[in-house]
A and B are shown apart, each in its own frame.
Chain A
Amino acid sequence: MGMRKVAIVGAGITKFVRRAQETGPELAYQASKMALDSCGLKLKDIEMITLGTAPDAFDGVHMKGEYLLGGAGGNKKPYIRNFVGGGTGVFAPIHGWMHVASGMCDLCMVVCEEKMSSCHPHPQGAFLTIFDHTTEQPIKPTLIWIFALEMKRYMETYGLKPEDVARVAVKNKKNALDHPSAQVAEELTVEDIVNSEVLADPVHRLDISPASDGAAAVILASEHVAKRLTDKPVWIEGVGWNLDTAYWATKDLYYPRYVEKAARMAYDMAGIKEPHKEIQVAEPYDPFDYKELHHMEGLLLCERGEAARLTAEGYTARDGNLPICPSGGALGVGNPIAATGLMKVIEIFLQLRGEAGKRQVPGNPRVGLAQAWGDLMQVGTVIVLKR
């Protein structure tokens, strides 16, 4: 396709917390600085920057891209914000990939930030305005409702019980005990999850990731620069993204077709024909526990309706055949929306380099995938990495 190879060569991440003492720009700075230091670069070496951050309504700052500019190292540089709701964190490195693959630059920094704690009484309130202002907002919906509606439809289609879904939360919260950024890592039982407070049945409180503040950053390099900077570049081999209709109630919610389309786009580019065999470690987006199952199916990592059984059998555990969310995911590490997606990309980067420490999955994986999802159940963003 006439595109250049692009590698991830460095990464940085903050702790994910409920109420960060740091401001948004300070969060972005901490992650960016760590990413630069990790591969021995200075800000002056970076030619272009792309920033991912979710709705302005969380921070309460309009033009959040401009607000975060200094913290993301963007002063007087070609800098742009990208945004596809919850899909932003994986779209941001795809956007950075475009900068380098096109030949526009050799070094691009990708920064993702979210500070949800500024919004009161709860950042959920900021989601009201993502619904159609005339046909839906008067009913006073919340995102928790539409997750509950989708979860119910998914569970009903395959005859799943709450316990089948809760195993994902148990696994991810436990995996997160080994992640230094983790906000809600905990060893819990399936009973703890299903007996936690009902928010909108079938969704219970522990089925959901928390609201978080945090930031993450990666450095992307062209092939010749990457090889000078590191012995272990991790290549971006496939990228895909796709959006479905904003009339979310007019499509069947049991299966995310747009995620499949995004995945097929990335697999075609990466030359992957049998994803369930070729992908060795994956970080699908897990803002709710059922979403991990939903996304495993949409990503073609298993047959439709099989993800819950595979989870129960330990297939998706860190030492299973296909480790899913070895980081601890949004459910365990936390969910500062855009930063979460990039945290997942960083996890695959570390896993493929064999540098994930206690979280390292066995078998020296060579191929991994990260995915994010969002908007009104509309967008899938997928990145395939290889070493």
Chain B
Amino acid sequence: MKIDKVPVKGLSSKEYEKALKISWDPVLKYNWDNGKAIGRYLHELKKGRIIARVCDKCNRIMIPPRMFCEYCFRPTDRWQYVKDTGKVNTFAVSRVYWNAQRIPQGEPPIIPAVIEIDGASEGMGLLHLLGNVEPEDIKIGMKVRAVWKPENERTGSITDILYFEPVREKNPPKAKPAAKRR
């Protein structure tokens, strides 16, 4: 067999605009239950602390916390606080929002990172943002700490941590606001 001619027509953006279309802008709302482990995790975030669960069989200290160990396949055993500091495992300097829309010129980039949390098992990281740092100053392996919202503004969400900032030895500069998000 030979495949040299293939069907299907792609529309130019002009043709697409003219074409008859039906569109739908869904308005749906989901309320997600958090379960025991993530429920406690969120309550602790509201208090400005990060909590993990420990499996005494494989000795993993896990964040996000979970009520069962996926490897030992048994209930996890206990709660354990971990630190709100860690190190940068990897990071990116984003010029796009979640829906691929561009961040306007002149506004700072969003800097997502995987942060390995001190006190959790090695490699246990979480997705968060870096702030109060110039992109060119960020290094993989850099020590960072959580910058929390003021206590009265916390809602019990991962966003109670505004971002992570570098741990600087002396004279920390004034905090700049994190990048605005839509």
Contacts and interface: CB of A to CB of B under 8 A. Distances in A.
Contacts of A10: 1
Contact of B158 (A14, A17, A134, A198): A134
B126 A135 contact: yes
A234 B159 CA distance: 53
Contact of A17 (B8, B64, B93): B8
B70 interface: yes
B7 A14 contact: yes
A125 B129 CA distance: 19
Contact of B123 (A39, A145, A213, A251): A251
B90 interface: yes
Contacts of A198: 93, 95
A122 interface: yes
Interface string B16-50: 10010001100000101010001001100000000
Contact of B7 (A30, A121, A353): A30
Nearest to A129: B30
Contact of A124 (B19, B99, B124): B99
B72 interface: no
B154 interface: no
A144 B128 CA distance: 15
A331 to B, nearest CB: 18
Contacts of A353: 1
A152 B158 contact: no
Interface string B95-130: 111111100000001001110000000011111110
Given A138-B159, A152-B92, A156-B140, A20 B11 contact: yes
B168 interface: no
Given A122-B99, A200-B93, A139 B127 contact: yes
B127 A34 contact: no
A202 B32 contact: no
A18 interface: yes
Interface centre among B90, B91, B182 (most CB of A within 10 A): B90
Contacts of A318: none
Contacts of B41: 135
B135 A201 contact: yes
B9 interface: yes
Given A180-B4, A213-B10, A247-B64, A139 B124 contact: no
B10 A136 contact: no
B92 A149 contact: yes
A101 to B, nearest CB: 23
A141 to B, nearest CB: 6
A300 interface: no
A133 B90 contact: no
B6 A145 contact: no
A140 B158 contact: no
B30 A133 contact: yes
B2 interface: yes
B90 A153 contact: yes
B46 to A, nearest CB: 13
A125 B98 contact: yes
Contacts of A281: none
Interface centre among A17, A134, A350, A357 (most CB of B within 10 A): A134
B8 A20 contact: yes
A191 interface: no
Nearest to B124: A250
B123 A139 contact: no
Contact of B98 (A19, A20, A142, A247): A142
Contacts of A141: 98, 112, 127
B124 to A, nearest CB: 5
B20 to A, nearest CB: 12
A149 B100 contact: no
B70 A15 contact: no
Contacts of B38: 134-135
Nearest to A37: B1
A150 B90 contact: yes
B98 A253 contact: no
Nearest to A14: B8
A203 interface: yes
Given A38-B1, A140-B181, 10 more contacts: A15-B6, A15-B7, A19-B11, A20-B10, A122-B101, A124-B99, A139-B129, A140-B97, A146-B112, A253-B114
25 contacts: A19-B13, A20-B9, A21-B8, A38-B3, A39-B1, A60-B24, A121-B100, A124-B98, A132-B64, A135-B38, A135-B158, A142-B96, A144-B96, A149-B112, A151-B92, A152-B91, A152-B92, A180-B3, A180-B5, A199-B96, A201-B92, A213-B10, A250-B125, A253-B89, A350-B3
Interface of B: 1-11, 13, 16, 19, 23-24, 30, 32, 34, 38, 41-42, 62-64, 70, 89-101, 109, 112-114, 123-129, 135, 140, 157-159, 181-182
